[in-house]
Amino acid sequence: MSESKSMLRFFVIWVGELISTIGSGLTAFALGVYAFQITGQASSTALIVLLTFLPAFLLRPFGGVLADRWDRSMLMIIGSVGSAFGIGLIMLMMTNNSHHLSLLYPGLILSSCFVAIQNPAFKASVTDYLSKDQYAKASGLVQLAGSAQFLIAPLLAGFLMAFVKVKYILMLDLLSFVLSALAVVMVRSTIKQIAVQKTSVEQSHFIKELVEGFKSITENRGVFVLVLLVSLLLFYIGLIQALLAPMVLSFTDAKTLGTLQSVCGFGMLLSSILISMKKRKGNNVKILCVSMALMGLFFAFIGIMPNFWAVLIPGFLFFVALPFSNSSLDVLIRQNISNEKQGRAWSLISVLTYFGSMVAYACAGFLADHICNPLFMPNGVLSHSLGQFFGVGKGRGIAFIFFIAGLLVILLAILIYRSKSIHALETSDQSDRENLNDNLRQLTRHEMEKVKCSGT
């Protein structure tokens, strides 16, 4: 299979993922705003985020094993269709015009469970189609699709919420899952051949494959250390996901929030396009550390004052740096794990890293509503000291959380840069290629000597 054909087939699947991501972004934005408008509490928004991700987080290891054993294209189709049923259940619960958020939870959980099937299969399919030299480009494309959730979806959802009910926005998400499944169907025959070839090689037990996936991570000290540090990074990023909307809605409306998130997401779009177009070799650790340090700097100043520009400028720059960090992480880990273990390894990596996000979603609402925000209310403990810098009133405690988290992200970048085991990930793949070339040269010399001997 030529590189152009392989990239074309991956591109078809990627387009479906792009459409699905936009639909999911519409739902995430709409339900988050809906929850905050009903309760006025950051905890409600954080709980919606938690239930959106927690089931997928818990089930992803099993989804990874399935991605290594079964037809990955069929798993992607099942995941998309099942997620559509979950969104349909939410729509059904909203038809009685009830404002009880608990009625939405079963649909969120169901949709998230099927994401645990779809996501590892899509992630693992990258190595089915593309060569190692195309991994960075594919990572850029995947992040480009992910940026649509921040670029297009919030702007569109914020605009739509001014004219239609939330359930109609959910309908668009349902249709996006259907289109994503159809895109996979278009190239299913090729993916199926690859999957059948893999399943015929090894038919081991389910739990055994989970253990093997875990060993593929822990046996390489650099990969394991990097995964643990990324989990800590995602804890801080999880605070943004859970608390940005409540902070912004404390001084503006949903339409402005959507515009702000979309403009910030444009920074992620620019970087993702740049990464997908430019072929990069090496320096992944250095790029990772520099981009993380810049992320921490910009993170610290998001919403430092309660106005549009104080969120827009640092938020935009934060998202500019984010794809460089993600792409470097992807390449460093991917090139140090064998292809036949990619599915189960990536699912376990997702669990280990996103554990930090789950902790953030679980505690962010309480931290904001019951600890930090009260400190910055009028006559709060910090209103006359740090309140002079962060401001006083609703949402100012969240700005303080972001400032501290940003400084800790900078510290994390320094720790990664000083880790020898992580630096070793950069050279391991190159060393393998050099050893292979040496073996080939030795084999060639041996064959030439045999020819000379036969000639004499």
| pLDDT-wise least confident of 166-170, 338-342, 390-394 | 338-342
Q: 149: pLDDT confidence band, cut at 50, 70 and 90? A: confident
Evaluate whether residue 9 is within a structural domain. Answer: yes
Helix (H), strand (E) counts: the chain: 18, 0
In a domain, 435, yes or no: no
For residue 307, the tally of other CB atoms under 10 A from its CB is: 12
Q: Which of 128-137, 163-172, 302-311, 415-424 has the lowest mean pLDDT?
A: 128-137
In a domain, 233, yes or no: yes
Q: Looking at the whole model, is its pTM more than 0.75?
A: yes
Residue 148, domain member (yes or no): yes
Residue 453 lies in a domain: no
Q: Quick one: DSSP state of residue 1?
A: -
63 closest CA partner among 342, 354, 360: 342
51-60 pLDDT, tens digit per residue, is: 988 888 888 7
93 lies in a domain? Answer: yes
Whole domain around residue 411: which residue ranges? 3-418
Q: Is residue 387 included in any domain, yes or no? A: yes
Evaluate whether 33 touches 254 at the Cβ level (below 8 Å).
Answer: yes
Count of structural domains within the chain: 1
The DSSP secondary structure of 410-456, one letter per residue, reads: HHHHHHHHT-HHHHHHHHHHHHHHHHHHHHHHHHHHHHHHHHHHHH-
Looking at the chain, the whole-number percentage of residues with pLDDT higher than 70 is 83
Least confident piece of the model among 4-8, 22-26, 234-238, 428-432 = 428-432
In a domain, 406, yes or no: yes
pLDDT digits (tens, 9 = 90+) for 351-409: 788 889 999 999 999 999 999 999 999 999 999 999 999 999 999 999 999 999 999 99
CATH number at residue 69: 1.20.1250.20
Q: How far apart are CA 334 and CA 285, in angstroms?
A: 14
Which pLDDT score, from 0 to 100, does residue 326 have? 86
Q: What is the pLDDT of residue 443?
A: 45
